[in-house]
Copies of this chain bind each other. A is one copy, B any other.
Amino acid sequence: MSQIGHNSGGIAADHLKSFIERIERLEEEKAAIANDIKEVYAEAKGTGFDTKIMRRIVKARKMEPNTRAEMAELLDIYARALGMSDIV
């Protein structure tokens, strides 16, 4: 590698390092929040709530009502095709 290549490489390497470190810092924050969420679920569980159901509720509230209805309909159609009565 040429002198110039080497120098620019050094600068780029620093730049890359900087990007990587920013990302790693953010990922740490994200992991911390994920942990907080886990703790809230744990607390809810300790109060007697069913966390599996809670997770479904949270997901449902995030979904567009249309999407939800479409999926329900598809499920129903497939279930009928198989002679099943009802699908949750």
Which residues on A are within 8 Å of B, measured CB to CB? Answer: 2-6, 8-13, 15-17, 19-20, 22-24, 26-27, 29-30, 33-34, 36-37, 40-41, 43-44, 47-50, 53-54, 56-58, 60-61, 63-64, 67-72, 74-75, 77-82, 84-88
Contacts and interface: CB of A to CB of B under 8 A. Distances in A.
A20 B37 CA distance: 10
B19 A29 contact: no
Contact of A68 (B13, B16, B43, B88): B88
B87 A48 contact: yes
A77 B49 contact: no
Given A23-B58, A58-B23, A9 B81 contact: yes
